[in-house]
């Protein structure tokens, strides 16, 4: 494996802090699969069983997550290097929660689950990095539940709803939903939700299209009510 691949792997959260000798041993002893994914191809599909630990070395991806009741869909754009839902390897429902699609040609390294378990068992740094990653996910999911204020405006509730349903707190997002369904979810009226969204659009925080809310920068939307 070329030096550039080693360097890219070391940028990924699970390999940070590992020595070069450990990396060489992993590469030489375990079945790592390197693939190039063409533009437009899905890397994994929502509800597909997770049987590999997949690292994206480079490329732009679209993440699409559909609600179980099909009332709304969230789309996100991210750049590699990144890892695709490692939490899906374990637990009572070991399936991907989202579809990952290559918007540009993407390079990935795929590690079968049995090989990933060998790495977790054999390398303390990798194991600690994985635990830190999973702990971070749990914290980010739990924190909003305890950060609700009784004086929140409807705009703030809309922002909170969007933040609770994204995976990465950066970049462009979009929410596909009917206005009436969003109003029902937020326990408010369609007119109030429409007026709030139009105010946010006038402030440059989002753009409205038919059945779609586009957020050019989730960071700017987050600043709207200082939710992190």
Whichever domain contains 181, its CATH number is: 1.10.10.10
Contact 177, 72 (CB under 8 A): yes
Contact 164, 144 (CB under 8 A): yes
The pair of three-digit structure tokens given for residue 170, joined into one six-digit string: 């950066």
Contact 33, 110 (CB under 8 A): yes
Rg, C-alpha atoms of the chain: 20
Pair 159, 70 in one domain: no
* Residues of the chain under the 50 pLDDT cut: 1, 227-228
How far apart CA 73 and CA 61 sit, in angstroms, is 16
Pair 129, 166 in one domain: no
Pair 56, 73 in one domain: yes
Pair 131, 211 in one domain: no
Instruction: Give the domain range for residue 103.
Output: 1-143
Identify which of 51, 53, 55 has the alpha carbon closest to the alpha carbon of residue 1. Answer: 55
Pair 92, 132 in one domain: yes
Pair 103, 118 in one domain: yes
| Number of separate domains in the chain | 2
The pair of three-digit structure tokens given for residue 10, joined into one six-digit string: 């070391």
- Domain ends where: 90, 117, 143? 143
Instruction: Give pTM, 2 decimals.
Output: 0.88
Residue partners of 122: CB distance under 8 A and separation at least 6: none
Pair 129, 205 in one domain: no
DSSP secondary structure letter of residue 106 = E
What local confidence, expressed as pLDDT, does residue 151 receive?
A: 74
> Cis omega (within 30 of 0) on the bond before 81?
yes
Q: How many of the other CB atoms lie within 10 Å of CB of 71?
A: 15
What local confidence, expressed as pLDDT, does residue 228 receive?
A: 41
Pair 157, 126 in one domain: no
Pair 173, 88 in one domain: no
């Amino acid at each position: 494996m070329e030096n550039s691949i080693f360097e890219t792997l070391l940028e990924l959260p699970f390999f940070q802090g590992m020595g070069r000798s450990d990396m060489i041993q992993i590469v030489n002893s375990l079945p790592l699969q390197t693939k190039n994914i063409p533009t437009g191809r899905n890397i994994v599909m929502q509800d597909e069983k997770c049987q590999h630990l997949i690292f994206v070395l480079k490329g732009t991806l679209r993440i699409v997550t559909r609600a179980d009741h099909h009332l709304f869909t969230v789309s996100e754009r991210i750049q590699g290097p990144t890892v695709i839902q490692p939490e899906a390897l374990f637990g009572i429902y070991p399936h991907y929660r989202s579809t990952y699609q290559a918007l540009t040609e993407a390079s990935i390294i795929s590690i079968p689950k049995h090989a990933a378990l060998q790495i977790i068992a054999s390398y303390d740094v990798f194991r600690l990095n994985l635990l830190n990653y999973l702990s971070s996910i749990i914290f980010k999911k739990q924190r909003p539940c305890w950060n609700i204020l009784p004086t929140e405006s409807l705009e703030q509730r809309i922002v909170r709803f969007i933040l609770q349903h994204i995976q990465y707190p950066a970049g462009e997002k979009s929410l596909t939903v009917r206005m009436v369904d969003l109003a029902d979810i937020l326990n408010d009226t369609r007119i109030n939700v429409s007026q709030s969204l139009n105010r946010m659009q006038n402030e440059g925080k989002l753009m409205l299209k038919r059945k779609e809310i586009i957020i050019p920068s989730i960071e700017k939307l987050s600043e709207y009510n200082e939710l992190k």
